[in-house]
């Protein structure tokens, strides 16, 4: 369910017209629906209810403090992948449970996490495991560790975001997990209490979860035989969302694939969803600047760019795009954005950035658009703002959170002064 719907040919987020938001806050603008965010969190809580899961919202998907706080208020902990994300999680809720993943944690980050009572380190290499023990020892503490295993599964998503095929940098090779774990048996400063896997993202099938979880069951038994008190099975995130049409699976399908392993191991289940919660809860609103045709292609040049939403450029990702106030001769909202439609022609939607790779969509069926018209790029709530940059010295967009008929600015638009704020002008 998302709460972005057209009413009499004008797009609304919950009960607020997007035109009004663009007027008030300017463009490019990220608009989030609180009802959609909570709906997705709650649908996971419900689908996995019998396992009483610890849901650690993945901060990398969208780390805005208001969104993180909303997650914490509704029972989520956090999955973080850097000291910076850890800081965000702490700002949102200092008491929340935090899983700390990532192949390259620095000693300072490890210390920071230990000081703050980290819930679990998702450990990605043998050296990291021993370093955890050493840092914890120097602080008189015990590091709680979940070994991240790469379960070596067939490809399941884009090559740049598939984290469970052989040879990627993530996790421990499945063949080596037991040897690595043996190395810390009896170490008083590192306790292996969990098994972690994150298969990749986005994943539109439950099968990899079932296959990964089954391998997890075997490993957990063997780790317990070594003497490790394994209490947690962390299956990561990666659940897919609607990008093209309604292709996302309901949370129950993933629950069905994962719950048998939870029962078999009697572990507490941990999940780290990001995109599933926030992806369809956000859109990127932009304004058309110019039209032009060249070399047989039609271009819509609008004011959002690859620095605002990198996914099309980086992964050739498909995001639905449609006018905020569509003209009368096209569908109010197409069922199939890829089908040819009367009243439309193929256009490339591009931004102002100086790269030919700067685009939001290629050869997309869209009606003719005039200067000043608004466009909505859907499913932009996850990995939009969190991957935004200041390339071309572009100020990052503002973010607005809508609740019913109310809206709040949750991040102001950056200014040119923000762009140079960290620089030390030593030649002046």
Active-site residues: which are they?
A: 354
Structure tokens that stand for 342 in this block:
């009367």
The nearest distance, CB 114 to ligand LLP, in angstroms, is: 19
Residues forming the site for ligand LLP (CB under 6 A): 58, 60-61, 79, 101, 161, 198, 201-202, 236-239, 272-276, 311, 382-383, 387
Torsion angles phi and psi, residue 43, rounded to 5:
-70, -30
Both tokens of residue 305?
């760019």
> Smallest distance, Å, CB 215 to ligand LLP?
17
CB of 310 to ligand LLP, least distance (A): 8
Residue with nearest beta carbon to ligand LLP: 237
**The dihedral sign for the CA sequence 24, 305, 10, 241:** negative
Q: Structure tokens of 15? A: 């009960």
Of residues 21 and 61, the one with the C-beta less far from ligand LLP: 61
Of the candidates 258, 255, 243, the one whose C-alpha atom is nearest the C-alpha of residue 201 is 243
Cβ distance to ligand LLP smaller for residue 161 or 392: 161
237 vs 351, beta carbon nearer ligand LLP: 237
- Tell me how far apart the alpha carbons of residues 410 and 393 are, in angstroms, rounded to a whole number: 22
Q: Name the minimum Å distance from CB 373 to ligand LLP.
A: 27
Q: Is the dihedral of CA 280, 51, 270, 89 positive or negative?
A: positive
Nearer to ligand LLP, 6 or 100 (CB): 100
Query: What are the C-alpha distances in Å from 406 to residues 1, 35, 220, 239?
Result: 20, 12, 48, 30
Helix ranges (H only) for 177-250 are 177-182, 207-225
SS3 75: coil
Give the HSE-up count for residue 373: Cα atoms under 13 Å, Cβ half-sphere.
21
Task: For residue 50, report the phi and psi dihedrals to the nearest 5 degrees.
Answer: -65, -20
Q: How far apart are CA 155 and CA 162, in angstroms?
A: 7
Q: Are 28 and 397 in contact (CB under 8 A)?
A: yes
Q: Closer CB to ligand LLP, residue 235 or residue 330?
A: 235
The token pair at 246 is: 């309604």
Query: Angle CA(232)–CA(238)–CA(240) in degrees, nearest 5?
Result: 140
Closer CB to ligand LLP, 2 or 79, in the complex: 79
Nearer to ligand LLP, 88 or 198 (CB): 198
Instruction: Write down the least CB distance from residue 83 to ligand LLP, Å.
Output: 16
| Residue 155: burial class (beta carbons within 10 Å; 0-12, 13-18, 19+) | exposed
User: Given the DSSP bridges, would you call strands 406-411 and 398-403 parallel, antiparallel or unpaired?
Assistant: antiparallel
Nearer to ligand LLP, 25 or 232 (CB): 232
* CA 212 remoteness from chain centre: 21
- The least CB distance from residue 304 to ligand LLP, in Å, is 16
* Nearer to ligand LLP (CB atom), residue 51 or residue 235: 235
Q: How far apart are CA 337 and CA 349, in angstroms?
A: 14
Query: Do 224 and 193 contact (CB within 8 A), yes or no?
Result: no
Minimum distance between the CB of residue 223 and ligand LLP, rounded to whole angstroms? Answer: 19
319's CB contacts (< 8 A; 6+ apart) are 243, 309, 311, 312, 360, 361, 377, 378, 379, 380
Q: Which residues pair with 403 in a beta bridge?
A: 406
Rounded to a whole number of angstroms, the minimum distance from the CB of residue 160 to ligand LLP is 7
């Amino acid at each position: 369910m998302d709460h972005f719907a057209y009413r009499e040919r004008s797009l609304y987020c919950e009960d607020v017209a997007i035109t009004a938001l663009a007027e008030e806050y300017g463009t490019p603008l990220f608009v989030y629906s609180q009802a959609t965010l909570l709906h997705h969190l709650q649908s996971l809580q419900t689908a996995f209810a019998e396992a009483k899961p610890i849901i650690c919202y993945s901060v990398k998907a969208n780390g805005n403090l208001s969104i993180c706080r909303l997650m914490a208020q509704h029972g989520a902990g956090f999955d973080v992948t850097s000291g910076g994300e850890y800081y965000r999680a702490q700002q949102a809720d200092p008491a929340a449970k935090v899983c700390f993943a990532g192949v390259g944690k620095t000693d300072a980050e490890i210390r920071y996490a230990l000081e703050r009572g980290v819930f679990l380190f998702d450990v990605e290499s043998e050296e990291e495991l021993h370093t955890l023990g050493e840092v914890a020892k120097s602080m008189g503490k015990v590091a709680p560790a979940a070994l991240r295993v790469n379960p070596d599964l067939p490809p399941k998503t884009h090559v740049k975001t598939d984290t469970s095929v052989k040879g990627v940098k993530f996790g421990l090779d499945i063949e080596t997990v037991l040897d690595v774990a043996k190395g810390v048996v009896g170490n008083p400063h590192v306790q292996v209490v969990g098994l972690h896997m994150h298969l990749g993202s986005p994943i539109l099938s439950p099968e990899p979860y079932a296959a990964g979880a089954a391998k997890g069951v075997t490993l957990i038994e063997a780790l317990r035989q070594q003497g490790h008190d394994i209490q947690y099975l962390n299956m990561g995130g990666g659940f897919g969302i609607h990008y093209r049409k309604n292709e996302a699976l309901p949370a129950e399908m993933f629950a069905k694939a994962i719950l048998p392993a939870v029962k078999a191991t009697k572990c507490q289940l941990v999940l780290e969803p990001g995109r599933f919660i926030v992806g369809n809860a956000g859109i990127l609103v932009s304004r058309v600047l110019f039209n032009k045709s060249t070399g047989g292609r039609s271009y819509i040049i609008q004011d959002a760019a690859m620095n605002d939403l990198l996914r099309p450029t980086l992964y050739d990702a498909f995001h639905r795009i449609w006018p905020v106030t569509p003209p009368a001769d096209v569908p109010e909202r197409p069922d199939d954005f890829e089908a040819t439609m009367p009243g439309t022609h193929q256009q490339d939607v591009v931004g102002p950035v100086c790269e030919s790779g700067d685009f939001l969509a290629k050869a997309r069926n869209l009606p003719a658009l005039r200067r000043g018209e608004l466009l909505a790029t859907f499913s932009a709530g996850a990995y939009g703002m969190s991957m935004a940059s200041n390339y071309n010295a572009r100020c990052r967009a503002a973010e607005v959170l809508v609740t019913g008929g109310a809206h709040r600015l949750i991040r102001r638009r950056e200014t040119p002064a923000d762009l140079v704020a960290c620089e030390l002008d030593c030649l002046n």
